[in-house]
Amino acid sequence: MNSPTFAGTSQAWAALGADSSLLDRVSYGGPSGGLPARLPVMELARATVAVCSLAAAELTSVRTGRPVPRVRVDDESVATAFLSDRLVRVDGQAWSTFAPLSRFWRAADGWVRTHANYPHHRARLLAALGVPGDAGEEAVAGAIAGRTALEVEETVYAAGGLAVAARGPEEWAKSEQGVLVAGQPLLTTVCVDDAPNRVLGDAALPCAGLRVLDLTRVLAGPVATRTLALLGADVLRIDAPQLPESQEAHNDTGMGKRSTTLDLGDATGRRVFEELLDEAHVVVTGYRPGALDRFGLTPEALAGRRPGLVIAQLSAWGRYGPWHERRGFDSLVQVATGIAELEGSPDSPGALPAQALDHGTGYLLAAGVLRALTEQHRTGGTRLVRLALTQTAHWLVHDLAPAPGEDDGFDAGRRLTETDSPMGRLRHALPPVSYEGGPVNWARPPGLWGTDAAVWAGA
């Protein structure tokens, strides 16, 4: 199979503002039946990994002075990686990616999906519904059944929780937020200022010597930053100590990284963060638009303090429109944009075979950072990359088409490996990002979440 066969790769590569002639460096192969769906999920997965791999190969060429290495996209590896959060094991033990109250519910006039994986989201959901904190699924079902889907959505969001009424694709397309999403590109990349170019020295790995501040949470942002870690970056994830995080989720997305906690509202925590920022090359954020502004983390403020940064920002609903301040996750975006209806049945909504919006957006985000580093090396400037899960969803529903040649010979077991970790014997998916001469696995397993020192490696 040659590159022109897969239009999705060309679309994503063009969105990154890259040289189309490099697409000839990409080839494809492997069993492709690992993500069966009505929508072209495999094409989304294949395309996002392909452009991420090609962006890594391009940056490798910039740093070594040699021709751009060839990229081989293996569909089996890609599909396995998109299922990585479901396949990870510690000492043979699996974990549930969704809590009992994170599911579909029947409302008086349709369906609602809630997200309550974190304790504070669960508490807000129950409070909004007027249900006791120790209530189970039956009580929640009763509270939702007596209200319209939109009433549940608005009530829960007003309380800081997460619930979305199921919409069809046509209904979403006519909504104010849907109209705005449709008018956006897949992603945006801009040069914020005229900071001098940062010349990257010769290195075998494209991100060697680069320091990445990772201010993201499940799942797209951490997928992007674990990819940068694979490619040689020193990635330090920073979380607020008061926000709980799942060690099980970190077992999947913490590959190659270190993890610490800092309270940016505290003088000491802020001072340590500023010291880290002084030596950072990349800052990746995945919180709601505006949530970090009070800490001086707008692109303009960051560019003023650290000219020449690459800044990558991820959101669920986009940084525009009436939904821009809402919290969101992949499962909720699927419900709002009509994907759940398209993948469902007359009796109930459905879901994609993986959290493909998260994973796909994660690889696009990593590709955007890699391309920004390449352009920065050539012409300078503080660079800003922005993506949203809804924009990836729009691409999936409206722009992608299933590629030919899909088969059912998929076996995830061939793309899994095991390693010792602080948590025990860890089974995980191998990285799908691959190019000739590139890394085949992460240099280190994840550690215990939040326990690393807030310093750069070697400091």
Active-site residue set: 358
Q: Can you tell me whether residue 369 is helix, strand or coil?
A: helix
Closest CA to 348 of 104, 168, 139: 104
CA–CA dist 13, 350 (Å, integer): 30
3 state DSSP class of 282: strand
- Rounded Cα gap, residues 293 and 406, in angstroms: 45
The rounded distance, in Å, linking the Cα atoms of 33 and 43 is 11
Query: In this structure, what token pair is assigned to residue 234?
Result: 């020193």
The DSSP 8-state label assigned to residue 453 in this structure reads -
Of 289, 291, 279, 288, nearest to 236 (Cα)? 279
* CA–CA gap between residue 42 and residue 78 (Å, rounded): 9
Give me the residues paired with residue 421 across strands.
424
> Which residue carries 């809590």 as its tokens?
99
In the Cβ-directed half-sphere of 236, how many Cα atoms lie within 13 Å?
24
Residue count of the chain: 459
Distance from C-alpha of 134 to C-alpha of 138, rounded to nearest angstrom: 12
Of 211, 284, 218, 205, the closest CA to residue 249 belongs to: 218
Tokens of 397: 């529903």
Of the candidates 81, 14, 88, the one whose C-alpha atom is nearest the C-alpha of residue 54 is 14
451 phi and psi angles, rounded to 5 deg: -105, 0
Q: What is the CA radius of gyration of the chain?
A: 21
Greatest Cα-to-Cα distance within the chain, rounded to the nearest angstrom: 65
Q: How far is 165 from 424, CA to CA, in rounded Å? A: 40
The alpha-helical segments, DSSP class H, found in 198-324 are 220-230, 247-253, 267-278, 299-305
